[in-house]
Structure 1
Amino acid sequence: MRRRIPVAPVQASYINRPQGNSISMPPTITFTEALARNRIRLLLIVPLLVAAYYRVVPDMVQQWMQDENYSHGFLVPLIAGYFLYLRRDELGRAPVVPWNWGVAVLLFGLAQLILGWLGTEYFTMRSSLVVVLAGLVLFLFGTAPFRVMALPLGYLLFMVPIPYIVYDAVAFPLKLFVTRVSVATLKIAGVSVLREGNIIMFPATTLEVADACSGIRSLISLLALAVALAFFLRIAPWKRWVLVGGAIPIAIVTNASRVIVTGFLAQYMGARAAEGFFHEFAGLAVFGLAMLLLVSLGALLKGREQRTGSEQ
């Protein structure tokens, strides 16, 4: 009869495993450290961007100077830079993990630039700069810094003039709407007036509701201001959307009031009420009123949130 010898179970031991076989993850660096390490590479990217957009950006700035609809373009980069300045601490601490798919975004922006240049489509060329910058941030620094920079980068789109085909498609219905509302209000007030399209006819004179009176100019600028105001106010996200959306009716209503007041004056003063100094002053006054209403809406939304928080 054989005798069984007990065998001790074999236990895996990792104590004496060589340290060279262990897999160590590279330490994550912050955005500030990444800027310091890659400053040479970043400095080389700047002249490449200048070479790609050396004609696109100056042409856009020239349009800001010549077209009053986009004169706010000078302020947009400054406001976007201020947004970034306010988030500088959060951005500096953001972990950097380069995202390879950022190359796809970068290539898409470059393709957008080339196609816009081939088709002489200015909006495509100009807006590609924002896409290229977003692609560079994603590829070089990753998604965490991009989330911090998303609002400043996206805000830069307000500096790009929209295509004229889109501008006309929005301005023409607005002109007709403002004309209808103004004529209806003038008739209720007892003014003798007729309407033909966007033409308002009085017994002594005739007025045309032009693009400047349609509200499209105020609408573009007010939307940019509303987004900036929504960023600065500490309110709930849905209230920020209400504030931005509120810029649309404010622009339309204030410009309709401009046409109504001009109609009353034209009834007694003639066509000169809609020309010269009064016309320019009325435009500034209406935009000032629109800004006041927008700020008041923001204060109302913020005040209600504070009251709700205090009740809780």
Structure 2
Amino acid sequence: MPYAVDSAAKVANPEPPLTSLSGAKARLEWLPYASIVLLLVVLYYRVGIKLVYDWSTLPDYSHGFLVPFFVAFLIWDKRKVIQSTPIRQSWLGVPLVVLSLAVLILGIYGVELFTSRMSFIFLMAGLIWTFFGWAMVRVLRFPLLVLILAIPFPAILFNQITFPLQLLASRIASDVLPLLGVPTLHEGNVIELPVMKLEVAEACSGIRSLMSLFTLSVFYGYFLEHTTRRRVILALASIPIAVTANVARIVGTGLCVQYWDPEKALGFFHEFSGWVMFVISLVCLYLVHRAMRLISPEKAQTT
């Protein structure tokens, strides 16, 4: 009879199954990471909302909507390498985390959006270094760098990059137009035609598509090439392609102003030619890629 009572006690108080214990342990292991994600949302949700707004309003950075999806694909594409990378937590990443938070505070209180946005990338690198080790940072370095393409540069820095290219494009266009029967007088980014003055900064914005073209060339190179060197060549090729496309757009605008209608040239043609030249730029990028494969076909096939 005592045996029966003892058996009943065991049935009334069964031991928890091992599967439930392992599941609870796994959830507890992920709790710190979930807490960190929640803190990141609290810290950066205002910065993120403003960034999405800039993507929707700034034509130069409309490609920003594609960057998070591309980064997610990069991480998924490297999933086997990530799983095989040993996890070695390190305190060496903590100084980078602290520095990133300081940069975030300076950016918020200094009203510098670029600084606060860049702090997110530094913070992600620091957190990965701290919780997973430097080897994991090296594996994920390319996705982290790609995130920079979605962050609008400060106007002062962007102008330092694009304005010299606009001057170059306007000078080349002013040399080409006389060959087509349109006399010009070039001064800075202004081309004076017999009919009117053509200001390159307003009449043409081909250089403004430079960041979008550069970003798409990075995407294109990653999907269709297997070597870093050739991917870099494709990305750098987007710069002269953008300049050439801008020259063609300026020349086309000048011809329309001289021989057609200035209002239509700076209205319909200005808007329509922007899309056309961007498509032509993508075609030129494809032709550069094909030329690379024709010049060195064996290297193009190496993995």
> Is TM-score (shorter-chain normalized) higher than 0.5?
yes
- Are the equivalent residues in 2 in contact too, given 1:234–1:302 (CA < 8 A)? no
Q: Look up the SS of the partner of 1:195 in the other structure.
A: strand
User: Following TM superposition, by how much is the alpha carbon of 1:188 offset from its aligned partner in structure 2, in angstroms?
Assistant: 2.0
Q: Look up the SS of the partner of 1:286 in the other structure.
A: helix
Among 227, 246, 252, the alignment partner of 2:237 is 246
More helix by share: 2
| Aligned positions of 1:44-83 closer than 5 A | 44-83=35-74
Among 100, 111, 117, the alignment partner of 1:109 is 100
- Are the equivalent residues in 2 in contact too, given 1:99–1:140 (CA < 8 A)? yes
Distance 1:216 1:113, change over 3 A: farther
Question: Which of the pair has more CA radius of gyration?
Answer: 1
1:149 alignment partner in structure 2: 140
RMSD of aligned C-alpha atoms?
2.3
- Are the equivalent residues in 2 in contact too, given 1:102–1:136 (CA < 8 A)? yes
- Are the equivalent residues in 1 in contact too, given 2:207–2:246 (CA < 8 A)? no
Cα distance in 2 for residues equivalent to 1:178 and 1:47? 47
Cα distance in 1 for residues equivalent to 2:266 and 2:73? 38
User: Following TM superposition, by how much is the alpha carbon of 1:171 offset from its aligned partner in structure 2, in angstroms?
Assistant: 2.7
Cα distance in 1 for residues equivalent to 2:143 and 2:93? 18
Gaps of 5+ in 1: 1-34
Query: Identity over the aligned pairs, expressed in percent?
Result: 37
Cα distance in 2 for residues equivalent to 1:149 and 1:215? 33
1:158 alignment partner in structure 2: 149
Amino acid at match of 2:46: R
Cα distance in 2 for residues equivalent to 1:259 and 1:37? 62
Pair 1:94 & 2:82 matched: no
Gaps of 5+ in 2: 1-25
Pair 1:206 & 2:197 matched: yes
- Are the equivalent residues in 2 in contact too, given 1:175–1:211 (CA < 8 A)? no
Cα distance in 2 for residues equivalent to 1:214 and 1:60? 22
Q: Look up the SS of the partner of 1:95 in the other structure.
A: coil
User: Following TM superposition, by how much is the alpha carbon of 1:36 offset from its aligned partner in structure 2, in angstroms?
Assistant: 7.3
Amino acid at match of 1:237: T
2:216 alignment partner in structure 1: 225
Cα distance in 1 for residues equivalent to 2:164 and 2:300? 42
Distance 1:305 1:297, change over 3 A: same
1:22 alignment partner in structure 2: none
Amino acid at match of 2:138: R
Superposed CA offset, 1:276-301 (max 9, x none): 33211100011111111112222332
Among 271, 277, 289, the alignment partner of 1:280 is 271
The count of residues paired between Structure 1 and Structure 2 equals 278
1:182 alignment partner in structure 2: 173
Distance 1:275 1:212, change over 3 A: closer
Pair 1:267 & 2:267 matched: no
- Are the equivalent residues in 1 in contact too, given 2:225–2:231 (CA < 8 A)? no
Distance 1:41 1:134, change over 3 A: same
- Are the equivalent residues in 1 in contact too, given 2:104–2:116 (CA < 8 A)? yes
- Are the equivalent residues in 2 in contact too, given 1:80–1:152 (CA < 8 A)? yes
- Are the equivalent residues in 1 in contact too, given 2:97–2:123 (CA < 8 A)? yes
Q: TM-score, normalised by structure 2?
A: 0.85
User: Following TM superposition, by how much is the alpha carbon of 1:42 offset from its aligned partner in structure 2, in angstroms?
Assistant: 0.9
Q: Look up the SS of the partner of 2:191 in the other structure.
A: strand
Per mean C-alpha deviation after superposition, the further-off stretch among 299-308 and 154-163 is: 299-308
Distance 1:211 1:168, change over 3 A: farther
- Are the equivalent residues in 2 in contact too, given 1:174–1:214 (CA < 8 A)? no
1:306 alignment partner in structure 2: 297
Cα distance in 1 for residues equivalent to 2:170 and 2:295? 35
Q: Look up the SS of the partner of 2:186 in the other structure.
A: strand
1:29 alignment partner in structure 2: none
Among 172, 178, 191, the alignment partner of 2:182 is 191
Per mean C-alpha deviation after superposition, the further-off stretch among 296-305 and 225-234 is: 296-305
Cα distance in 2 for residues equivalent to 1:111 and 1:211? 39
